[in-house]
Amino acid sequence: MRILGIDPGTAVTGIGLIESRGTEIKLIHFESLHLNSKQLLTIRLKLIYDKCINCIKEFKPDQLVVETAFYGKNIQSTLKLGQARGVAIIAGLNSDLNVSEYSPREVKKSVTGNGASTKHQVQYMVKAILGIKEDLTDFDCTDALAVAMCHVYSCQNLFKFPSGNGRSSWTKFVENNPAKNLDRKSK
């Protein structure tokens, strides 16, 4: 199954594509679409839509996944983010893809084990799990890949946190989530 993850934004939109076969996740493509904030919002929204359509045509994903809206203190930013999400969702629907959404907390928890993780922690885990060696200058690509990974974990029921606290819970988590295990001995 190929999953196209989108981290929508009117300044930068992250795009990440992965392929999942069982518990194995393979990196296919990632990039950031940097938009000119001096352009009209309508032009930037069209550019996001066109980029999503082009990625769908080129990589032929089975699913499109976006993060749910995040409400911030600035209502104008929240509204613009909603519009960017909307054009990405419409691009998926117009291409006959199933579209799913996950909250930022769900995405962070599925990738790092902590729903309150920082962007640095999410980026570290995404790079480690997918074997990305290059330095990434922004978080938009890794956020897009993280939302796609969240969808894989959710669909395959790999995202299982045991109840309870302490070491035994983490042992169970590691056993239940083999795709997240990092072989530290090979480093």
- Please list the active-site residues: 7, 67, 140
Inter-residue long-range contacts of 113-119, CB under 8 Å, 24+ positions, other chains counted: 113/161, 113/173, 113/180, 119/143
Token pair of 15, please? 């795009």
Q: 96 in helix, strand or coil?
A: coil
Burial code (b: 16+ CB inside 10 Å, e: under 16) for 22-42 equals eeebebbbbebbebeeeeeee
